[in-house]
Structure 1
Amino acid sequence: MKKENTWISWNENVKHSFTNSYDVTTEEEFADAIKNSDSVRFYGSKQSSSDIAAGTDTLINIKNYNQIIDIDKASKKITVQSGIELKDLLEKIESLDWCIPCLPDINTITLGGALATGTHGTNGGLISSYMTSCRLIKADGTIQVINEDDMLMDAVRVSLGVLGAFSTITLQCEESYTLHLIEEPESDALWTKNLSSYLSNHDFLRILWLPHTGMGYVIKGKKIPKDQHVEEDLGPAYLKNRRKASKFLYQLTKTAPWTIYFANKILYKRFFKSRKEHKGNLYQATVTKSRGSTLELAEWTVDFDKFPSLLKELSETINSFKNKSFIHIPMDVRFVDSDDSWLSNAYKRKTVTMGCVSRDASSADSYEAFKTVENIFLKYGGRPHWGKRFAAKDPELTKLYPKWNDFKDLRKSMDPTNKFLNKYLASIFSEKI
């Protein structure tokens, strides 16, 4: 009799039984595990809010498949195994005085997972847009090398792990640079009016939107010489307690969600009214070093030109006490360049992304904000982040991604037995397993 074990996600919202598991450290082990499995998924830090990483009979843990394979100093390229965590990759890149220009705000996820789900930062492309080549383990266990000029590259860059598993990945890096950052609150009327100007005149822009307050916390950065002096001011010491205070207040609002409206105003006045000024390279200045497992996340993108209208409708909707969608703060607003990756949420368009967070993962299913945000973004042609929470399936997704049906055909040709699908992924692609 097979022994069943339980796989549990980082926030304990997703649980699946499995019977076989592999911890791989070499490409040969990784390929053999896939070849000898009927249904298989692979995972690293388990930090996806979508049900993408498990739910199959066999699971492959890639966290120890994490070595740096090659560093090409002349071309500023680095080749690594796909299970390397971003913190280890970025620290190595930083030591070379290099950077990846569009870093996400978390560094504890694996590179393979970040690429497959379209992870990104702000003021650049998805991380996958910096991939110049990869070795892909296909369903039969064979290896296919895919280079930048390969016709498959645009399909593989963001592929949810359903075309195959990333084995090794080569990334194009750039010279590191130093940012002079100023952070301060601005009214929604002001920062939305100046959005195009801010993007044109700054090298870094990120806005923490504060629902129910009429305010955003605007983070603007400009490149400066590394040795340029900046009189740093990181604000009062109590600002570091924002997450603890948020968690406490939102626990109090669970039985009466409408009180979030007032909790947000308290959090704004306490933690988002201070002006801060500092400098650092992109990694030092912008990457969150940890994230509590009590979170549940959704994120959507929309055409840059549609964002002002969308934000206006979202604001009006959630500020009506007739609605049930009172949203925890902040909602992270970032900006991503257009690309050609078939399943990228920035495919053929300059986008604005907006994250939606529940500070209590255990009650995420009843968090109405996820539903309201998704409905409004779908109305404006918004696309979901593949690694975060959303309800849209094939009928909606085919309208959002021009290459959706091409991707489905390619997936079927590369994985005819649906080896890489779990029930969640099968529902997205309208497949039966």
Structure 2
Amino acid sequence: MSAVEYHVEAVPQKGPAALPIADEKPEPMLHDPVDVHGVSPVANPILMNWCGMTPLGRRTQVFRPKTEEEISAILVSSPDRKIRPIGSGLAYEAIAAVDDGDSVLVELSHFTGLERVDHENSTARFGAGTSVDSAIALLTEKALMISCSPGVIGMQTLAGCVSTSTHGQGLQQSSFSDAIHSLRMVRANGDVVDIDASDGDFGAYIGSLGLLGIIVSISLKTSPLRAFICKKMNVSYEVFAERWIQWNEESEFCKAWWYPETDLVHVWRIDEDRGEIDAVLRADPTLNSTIDLLSGKMADHTKDPCLVGCQFATIDRFRNTTDQKGFLHEIVCKGIPVPQINCEIAVPLDQLPNALRSLRSWLDTNGTSTLHYPFIFRCTGPSEAWLSPAYGSAVCFIGFLVYLAHDGSWGTGCMEMMRSIQEALYPCQGIPHLGKHFCLDIWQPEHNLRRWNDFTTLCRRHDPRGQFLNRLLSKMFAPT
């Protein structure tokens, strides 16, 4: 099956002639385009998301402000013009997209870098367009680390992490949004405001999908840099199902990959390295034959019989399981950004047994022919972010994905699989990660998000014209 072809129609621009909607010269990509064969140039007047599946708008609609005043000016001078912030383009659904040629995409490449370190309050302030990789590197130079587990993809911008409640793993912490001390943003009326936890609506801002304003700087909570040891093991599904929650309670960070083809589960348990023991330099080959099996299916689904694409590296790295030492980001922030359709559903911890039974039932009915990557499990503690699936309670995120072929197509039955797994997890009080793929007709925000009414009320107060809404977000937060 081929990817759907999208077109964004040009509409004559209106408003003040001096409005700097686009530069005169062709603009570069938001980041180096990535496909299954690595980085390659792409010449396309339509700006696509990172995997080339979702159009965001025309490149001529991208506005790169250099000051807060320029952002205020574009918001105030054309209040009927739709405005959407864009970061690295990692969201799969059209959250960051604009729907007509008159709208503007605000890109924050001029708002980057470390602005200030406050040792007294253990915070560090960055420009909102700073990448996670850059923020981590700058903090590491100062023997500091972010006070949460980062996600797996380091090219994501800090504003993108906050806006989508990106998360790592660990019951002792929650999403990236919960590591925010304060943020500075430009509201729809042009006001520049600083917001922190003293604001009763702070939880709405740390995960707002760009609906409450354009974030320009972010103060992160920090802690002293620590070294960790990641103990890796391969266990049976039965052992995993029995002990997964216990492992999460005992270790600071845990992550697991379940391979239904052989019912093996690869588990990471990450704790501070106190120098008490050395990492065991052993190579456990238990998972190797399972990886061979998945590589064959992946080669078929992604039309890559010679196994040259980067997607194979995402599972080859699990061969010959070996423990690892390093800083936290060196262990967990190692995602390979291969074009994919990625979905993640969070279920409350007390619903995890039901979710596992639902997945087992789904497998009994559908088999594993359409799967070419394991199910991924990451638990987090309760979040303060209103739109986070973990709002108010600890959850286990269950991830599943489909890699795309070089021509942008996916294997037969793969999208049907993505939908049917979502349907299987819905009865388990599951809520999707809004920065990834989800079927809106299954997951209705007004029914699934506990603070939906409060959030939409706040949006109407600060953006009465719906300037930050697009078609998808209107369906989610301003249904008629």
TM-score (normalizing by structure 1): 0.88
Among all aligned residue pairs of Structure 1 and Structure 2, give the percentage whose two residues are the same amino acid.
Answer: 21
Q: Secondary structure at the match of 1:310?
A: helix
Q: CA deviation at 1:311?
A: 1.2
The residue that corresponds to 2:96 in the other structure is: 53
The residue that corresponds to 1:409 in the other structure is: 457
Among 13, 21, 25, the alignment partner of 2:53 is 13
Q: Secondary structure at the match of 1:299?
A: strand
The residue that corresponds to 1:298 in the other structure is: 343
The residue that corresponds to 1:175 in the other structure is: 224
Q: Secondary structure at the match of 2:324?
A: strand
For the 8 Å contact 1:302–1:352, the answer to whether it is kept is yes
Among 136, 152, 163, the alignment partner of 2:201 is 152
The residue that corresponds to 2:432 in the other structure is: 384
The residue that corresponds to 2:377 in the other structure is: 333
Question: Structure 2: how far apart are the matches of 1:268 and 1:165?
Answer: 34
The residue that corresponds to 2:156 in the other structure is: 109
Matched, 1:358 2:398: no
Matched, 1:317 2:366: no
Question: Structure 2: how far apart are the matches of 1:267 and 1:96?
Answer: 32
The residue that corresponds to 2:3 in the other structure is: none
In structure 2, give the amino acid aligned to 1:339. Answer: S
The residue that corresponds to 2:261 in the other structure is: 212
Q: Secondary structure at the match of 2:96?
A: coil
For the 8 Å contact 2:165–2:385, the answer to whether it is kept is no
Question: Structure 1: how far apart are the matches of 2:167 and 2:446?
Answer: 23
Matched, 1:133 2:182: yes
Q: Secondary structure at the match of 1:367?
A: helix
For the 8 Å contact 1:184–1:274, the answer to whether it is kept is no
Question: Structure 2: how far apart are the matches of 1:226 and 1:99?
Answer: 19
Aligned residues: 416
Matched, 1:230 2:275: no
Q: CA deviation at 1:380?
A: 1.2
Q: CA deviation at 1:394?
A: 9.6
- Say which is worse superposed, 33-42 or 68-77, in terms of deviation: 33-42
Q: Secondary structure at the match of 2:435?
A: coil
For the 8 Å contact 2:183–2:217, the answer to whether it is kept is yes
**Deviations 1:370-424, CA, capped at 9 Å, x for gaps:** 1122112221111111110111259722221221111111111111111101111
In structure 2, give the amino acid aligned to 1:285. Answer: I
For the 8 Å contact 2:113–2:135, the answer to whether it is kept is no
In structure 2, give the amino acid aligned to 1:73. Answer: H
- Say which is worse superposed, 27-36 or 420-429, in terms of deviation: 27-36
Among 421, 425, 429, the alignment partner of 2:469 is 421
Structure 1 residue runs without a partner (length 5+): 256-265
Q: Secondary structure at the match of 1:173?
A: strand
For the 8 Å contact 2:258–2:265, the answer to whether it is kept is yes
The residue that corresponds to 1:40 in the other structure is: 83
Q: Secondary structure at the match of 1:327?
A: coil
Q: Secondary structure at the match of 2:94?
A: coil
Q: CA deviation at 1:227?
A: 8.7
The residue that corresponds to 1:371 in the other structure is: 419
The residue that corresponds to 1:259 in the other structure is: none
Q: Secondary structure at the match of 1:328?
A: coil
In structure 1, give the amino acid aligned to 2:54. Answer: V
CA 1:420 to 1:394, structure 2 compared with 1: closer, same or farther past 3 Å? Answer: farther
Q: CA deviation at 1:203?
A: 1.6
Q: Secondary structure at the match of 1:125?
A: coil
For the 8 Å contact 2:165–2:177, the answer to whether it is kept is yes
The residue that corresponds to 2:67 in the other structure is: 26
Q: CA deviation at 1:324?
A: 8.6
CA 1:158 to 1:270, structure 2 compared with 1: closer, same or farther past 3 Å? Answer: closer
Matched, 1:64 2:105: no
In structure 1, give the amino acid aligned to 2:85. Answer: F
**Deviations 1:40-66, CA, capped at 9 Å, x for gaps:** 111121111121112241111113321
**Deviations 1:26-50, CA, capped at 9 Å, x for gaps:** 3223333333341111112111112
For the 8 Å contact 2:57–2:105, the answer to whether it is kept is no
Question: Structure 1: how far apart are the matches of 2:158 and 2:388?
Answer: 16
For the 8 Å contact 1:303–1:351, the answer to whether it is kept is yes
Q: CA deviation at 1:338?
A: 0.7
Aligned-residue Cα RMSD (Å) equals 3.0
Q: CA deviation at 1:275?
A: 2.8
Question: Structure 1: how far apart are the matches of 2:280 and 2:241?
Answer: 28
Question: Structure 2: how far apart are the matches of 1:367 and 1:394?
Answer: 14
Question: Structure 1: how far apart are the matches of 2:232 and 2:423?
Answer: 31
Q: Secondary structure at the match of 2:365?
A: coil
CA 1:401 to 1:142, structure 2 compared with 1: closer, same or farther past 3 Å? Answer: same
For the 8 Å contact 1:138–1:144, the answer to whether it is kept is yes
Matched, 1:308 2:353: yes
**Deviations 1:265-309, CA, capped at 9 Å, x for gaps:** x999987563311211111111115412x2121111000111121
CA 1:147 to 1:176, structure 2 compared with 1: closer, same or farther past 3 Å? Answer: same
CA 1:96 to 1:271, structure 2 compared with 1: closer, same or farther past 3 Å? Answer: closer
CA 1:227 to 1:32, structure 2 compared with 1: closer, same or farther past 3 Å? Answer: farther
For the 8 Å contact 2:431–2:443, the answer to whether it is kept is no
Q: Secondary structure at the match of 1:353?
A: strand
CA 1:246 to 1:69, structure 2 compared with 1: closer, same or farther past 3 Å? Answer: farther
For the 8 Å contact 1:335–1:352, the answer to whether it is kept is yes
Structure 1 residues 179-218: aligned runs within 5 Å: 179-218=228-267
CA 1:16 to 1:49, structure 2 compared with 1: closer, same or farther past 3 Å? Answer: closer
Question: Structure 2: how far apart are the matches of 1:223 and 1:161?
Answer: 35
